[in-house]
Chain A
Amino acid sequence: MEIFRYIGIKRKVFLGSIVLAMVLLISSSISMFEYTRMNDHVAELISDNTNSIEVSRELLAKAEEYNLRLMHLVLGEVGEESIEVINDDAFISFFSGIKESFVTEQDKANVDSVMYAFAAYMHIVREASDIWLTNRDDLLKEWYFNRLQPVYAKLKAYIEKLTNDSQDALIHNSQSLQDNFYRSLMPGLISALLGFLMVLLFNYYLNHYLINPILKITRGIKGYMSFNKKYEVKIESNDELAELNDSVNDIIDINKSAKKQS
């Protein structure tokens, strides 16, 4: 630590200010970084959760729409000559696309369950054309209610689970956000507190090591000039103030000897 032994006043104040400025810079950078990170995190989480819920709802709507259309056909309300199996490519591509919208492992597992349930559903739906051709209402209804409906119920249950889990995640995330908010404040707060402490220390050092010695020297010179008191000022530091004190001592000695001579 020898490098700090002989530092001039100018450098002391400069270095002190630099250190203070750096602490303040770091504290403000941390605060900004934490704020931005928190902001992005919040926005991303809310967006992910609402997106998941929205997608789950869309899934449910699509599945219901599909099932309703089949039911109309089976009950003969539409009066179609033949049943056309709905092309599931759009549904599959939709599923593949939305999988990335879910962030948690639980949600991803739920999406997989939905996909498997949907594949099972489509497998049974593909039997529709053959049954339609038999032109037997009882077979068609038996197929629809006993084979298709249980699988559809399963698919629906999985989609609802996906929706519920996404909603639960949203509630959980909003709770953990409160903790994270408190936590994101901490780093900035701590570094700002350090900066504050260092400002107090800086004030102490300026007073104790720079201003007080000047006041001591001034009082010493005044005491000598006004009351001819002995000049006995001691300076702790090794800087220009110590040199000034030595010089004042020398001048007073010269002055004393000049007075004696005269």
Chain B
Amino acid sequence: MNAGVISRYVGIALICNAFFMLLSAVISALYGFDSSFSPLLVSCFLTFLFGVFPLIFVTGGRDINIREGLAILLLAWFLSCIFGMLPYVLWGGEFNLVNAWFESASGYTTTGATILNEIETLPHGLLFWRSSTHFIGGLGVVVFIIMFLPTVGMIGFRMSKMEVMDVSRSNFRYRFKKLIRIFVTVYLVITVISFAALVLAGMSPFDAINHAFSAVATGGFSTRNLSIAAFDSPLIEFILILSMVLSSIHFGVIYASFATRSAKIFKDPVTRFYLMTILISTVIVAITLLLEGVEQGIFHALRNGAFAVVSTISTTGFSISDTSGWPILAIMVILYVSVQCGCSGSTCGGVRSDRMWLILKGVRAQLIKMAHPNAVVQVKSGGQVIEKDLISSVHTFLFIYLVLTFLGSLFYAMTGMSMMESVSSSISMMGNMGLAFGENNSFYNFANAPQISKIVMGIQMIVGRLSLYPVLLIFTLFRKRF
């Protein structure tokens, strides 16, 4: 591995971060040079200088191999989280080093969990910076890097094959560079539309831009202590539900639907499976809430059920009601959707619907095979046969994912967190959801979690966000060739 080349591309990612720090400082200046102005400006300078340093010495134009690509990806995320801490640490308040690490990792990984008790006391500049970390993380530092990388086509393609499952790609065929452009376009369009719709629905432009950043990145940071409940507006909730659903569907499928003026969104089997999961889960949760008397009236039950299901499955983590007091069936449904999550090729984390759909297809095929041992049973998607390798790689992914979630739960339980808190926090961190049950419920935060747990949660968020990349990197370090 060439450390110089790695540092060059990590430097480019840091310059992107410095740009958003500068933007946040401008916001701070617009709001009367609030107390976050100098922390943001100093952080911007330090991040920029650290980012530009490798560019002076290391020239571009050299091809990078997959190990270098993985190292760039991992380091870019990790260092972004580290440099993203600077504005928080320099500002002070509730942010000590551990809290700043948690908040920064939660922002970049679009988890949306917070350690803040009083979000509304934060200055505007810092609130904007929090949302900006979602915006940067949502699209992924990798996309920022690839946009600046003329020589990374091959590694980019191989990474895209890991990230963007072939199942979802069946409905569109674009070259990798165009795919990146599509991602950026769809991302920006959803942001702009969400922002405009939220402003029209009555949000202030500042709140609207922050929530638009959060929704498109499926993050979950809000400018209010009570999250979306603070606005108490069904219209705002409806807009955010739409934004969250759109942001958790494969961007390529969305683009293809608009480009070809066809209903590809509904033809894509994975998207159909994802939307059906939302529909069925919402109905189950709403009926449970009605039967158990938690909500009075079908409208309130559907409103709360739909918002909680969409917010969880899209791994956003906005909330309008405290889900920890819900009936156990509703909690189980929420826990299931927090594992399944949205589609690959979107900004959401977790196992993702593509893999879950393939697993269900595989189980069905196995059952048929057991009933008819001599039958040739193939797993198909949209008329195309799915390779066995792909299914076994999904099983491997799910196995590692569940093992890491279990280890996380075990660790948190060891640090003194209750069983419900440990398990739901671990699922939440791995899936980059942000909400948990127990004390860390919808309206509370992780301020009281043990310090060591907060550090590990930050790492778990990054591991979850990067799917298997860190594991792959560690694996490749022990192999000469990959």
Contacts and interface: CB of A to CB of B under 8 A. Distances in A.
A26 B39 CA distance: 12
Contact of A23 (B12, B49, B56, B89): B49
B448 interface: no
Interface string B51-78: 0111111111110000000000000000
B61 A209 contact: no
A254 interface: no
17 contacts: A1-B148, A4-B56, A5-B60, A19-B52, A19-B56, A22-B45, A26-B45, A26-B49, A191-B42, A198-B50, A198-B53, A201-B54, A204-B4, A205-B54, A208-B4, A236-B62, A237-B59
A122 B368 CA distance: 97
A30 B86 CA distance: 12
Contact of B59 (A26, A191, A238): A238
A217 B351 CA distance: 52
Given A22-B49, A194-B50, A205 B58 contact: yes
Given A1-B12, A208-B4, A26 B42 contact: yes
A5 B61 contact: yes
The 7 closest A-B pairs by CB, nearest first: A205-B57, A4-B55, A15-B56, A187-B90, A209-B57, A19-B49, A19-B53
B59 A5 contact: yes
Nearest to B55: A4
B370 interface: no
Contacts of B49: 19, 22-23, 26, 198
Nearest to A22: B49
A12 interface: yes
Interface of B: 3-4, 7, 12, 42, 45-46, 49-50, 52-62, 86, 89-90, 92, 96-97, 148
A5 B54 CA distance: 12
A212 to B, nearest CB: 11
A209 B3 contact: no
Majority-rule SS of B interface residues: helix
Contacts of A103: none
Contacts of B52: 19
B46 A205 contact: no
B4 A205 contact: yes
Contacts of A180: 92
Contacts of B53: 16, 19, 198, 201-202
Interface in A150-200: 180, 182-183, 186-187, 190-191, 194, 197-198
Contacts of A5: 59-61
A7 interface: yes
B12 A12 contact: no
Contacts of B92: 180, 183
Contacts of B50: 23, 194, 197-198
Interface string A200-228: 01101100110000000000000000000
Interface residues of A, number: 32
B355 to A, nearest CB: 36
B62 A12 contact: no
B89 A209 contact: no
A186 B95 CA distance: 11
Give the residue among B7, B54, B148 with the most A Cβ atoms within 10 A.
Answer: B54
A226 B86 CA distance: 55
Given A26-B46, A194-B50, A209-B4, A16 B55 contact: no
A23 B57 contact: no
Interface in A88-123: none
A5 B46 CA distance: 22
A15 to B, nearest CB: 5
B189 to A, nearest CB: 27
A53 to B, nearest CB: 27
A100 to B, nearest CB: 24
Given A1-B55, A187-B89, 17 more contacts: A1-B60, A4-B55, A5-B59, A6-B59, A16-B56, A19-B53, A26-B49, A30-B42, A30-B90, A183-B96, A186-B89, A187-B42, A198-B50, A202-B53, A236-B4, A236-B59, A237-B59
A115 to B, nearest CB: 31
Contacts of B3: 204, 208
B61 A23 contact: no
A208 B57 CA distance: 9
Give the residue among A6, A30, A205 with the most B Cβ atoms within 10 A.
Answer: A205
B209 to A, nearest CB: 28
A66 B330 CA distance: 71
Contacts of B96: 182-183
A201 to B, nearest CB: 6
A191 to B, nearest CB: 6
Interface in A32-52: none
Contacts of B55: 1, 4
A1 B57 CA distance: 12
A26 B45 CA distance: 9
A197 to B, nearest CB: 8
Contacts of A23: 46, 49-50
A12 B56 CA distance: 6
Nearest to B12: A1
Nearest to B47: A194
A190 B7 contact: no
A191 B60 contact: no
A190 B89 contact: yes
Contacts of A236: 4, 59, 62
A12 to B, nearest CB: 6
